[in-house]
Amino acid sequence: MKTEKVIQTVTAKDENIKISPTGIEGLDFLLKGGFPEGHVILLSGGAGTGKTMLAMQWLFNGYKKNNESGIYITLTEPITKALQNISNTEFYDKTVTDALKIHFTDLRTAIQLLEIKEKSITKNDIDKIIDTIGQLVKQTGSKRLVIDSITALAYMLNEKDLIRYFVFRLGTMLSTLNCTTILTSEITGGGSSVFGVEEFISDGVIKLESVKIKDDIIRKLQIIKMRGIDYIPKVVDFRIKRDGVHLLLKILPELVYRATNEKVSSGVSGFDDMCYGGLFKGSCTLLAGPTGTGKTVTSLQFINQGLKNGEHCLYVSFEESREQLLRLAQSFGWDFEKYEKDGLLTFLCSYPELAYPIEHLIAIEEIFEKNKINRIVIDSLTALANVLPVETFRDFVKMIVSYCKAKEVTSLVTAATATLMGSETLTEANLSTLTDNIIILKYVEFSGELGFVVAVLKTRSSDRDKKLRKYNIISKKGIVIGEALMAYEGVMTGTSRKIGKTTEEKLIDEFNTVLGPMGLQSYNEIALKGITEKTITEYVDSLKSEGIIKKDTAEKFKQNCVSILNEK
CB 426 within 8 A of CB 414: no
Q: Give domain status of residue 75, yes or no.
A: yes
Q: Give domain status of residue 449, yes or no.
A: yes
Q: Which domain holds residue 445?
A: 263-492
Q: Give domain status of residue 257, yes or no.
A: no
Q: Which of 248, 277, 312 corresponds to the end of one domain?
A: 248
State yes or no: pLDDT of 518 exceeds 70: yes
pLDDT at position 169:
86
Q: Which of 224, 248, 272 corresponds to the end of one domain?
A: 248
pLDDT at position 252:
58
pLDDT at position 1:
40
- Which helix (H) or strand (E) segment holds residue 73: the answer is strand 70-74
pLDDT digits (tens, 9 = 90+) for 240-299: 999 899 898 865 566 566 778 899 999 998 899 999 999 999 999 999 999 999 999 999
CB 436 within 8 A of CB 411: no
Shared domain for 111 and 10, answered yes or no, is: yes
Q: Over the chain, what is the mean pLDDT?
A: 85
Q: Give domain status of residue 306, yes or no.
A: yes
Model confidence at 9, in pLDDT bands (50, 70, 90)? very low
**Residue 93 sits in a domain of what CATH number?**
3.40.50.300
Provide the residue count of the chain. Answer: 568
Shared domain for 13 and 80, answered yes or no, is: yes
Q: Give domain status of residue 96, yes or no.
A: yes
**Residue 229 DSSP code:** B
Q: Which of 492, 526, 550 corresponds to the end of one domain?
A: 492
Shared domain for 444 and 544, answered yes or no, is: no
Shared domain for 227 and 108, answered yes or no, is: yes
- Looking at the chain, the number of H-run helices and the number of E-run strands are 20, 24
Measured CA to CA, the distance from residue 425 to residue 417 in angstroms comes to 9
Query: What is the total count of domains within the chain?
Result: 3
Model confidence at 523, in pLDDT bands (50, 70, 90)? very high
State yes or no: pLDDT of 62 exceeds 70: yes
Shared domain for 64 and 145, answered yes or no, is: yes
State yes or no: pLDDT of 168 exceeds 90: no
Model confidence at 386, in pLDDT bands (50, 70, 90)? confident
CB 331 within 8 A of CB 475: yes
Residue 195 has, within 13 A of its CA and on its CB side, a CA count of 25
Measured CA to CA, the distance from residue 245 to residue 494 in angstroms comes to 51
pLDDT at position 163:
82
- The CA dihedral of 182, 185, 190, 191, to the nearest 10 degrees, is -50
Shared domain for 72 and 184, answered yes or no, is: yes
Shared domain for 34 and 118, answered yes or no, is: yes
pTM of the entire predicted model: 0.71
Residue type, 224: I
Mean pLDDT for 192-217 is 80
pLDDT at position 60:
94
pLDDT at position 269:
87
Shared domain for 297 and 426, answered yes or no, is: yes
pLDDT at position 531:
86
State yes or no: pLDDT of 10 exceeds 70: no
pLDDT digits (tens, 9 = 90+) for 22-54: 999 889 999 999 999 999 999 999 888 999 999
Which spans in 265-335 are helix H?
Answer: 269-274, 295-308, 322-331
- From first CA to last CA, the distance across the chain in angstroms is 53
Shared domain for 425 and 529, answered yes or no, is: no
Measured CA to CA, the distance from residue 452 to residue 472 in angstroms comes to 7
State yes or no: pLDDT of 424 exceeds 60: no
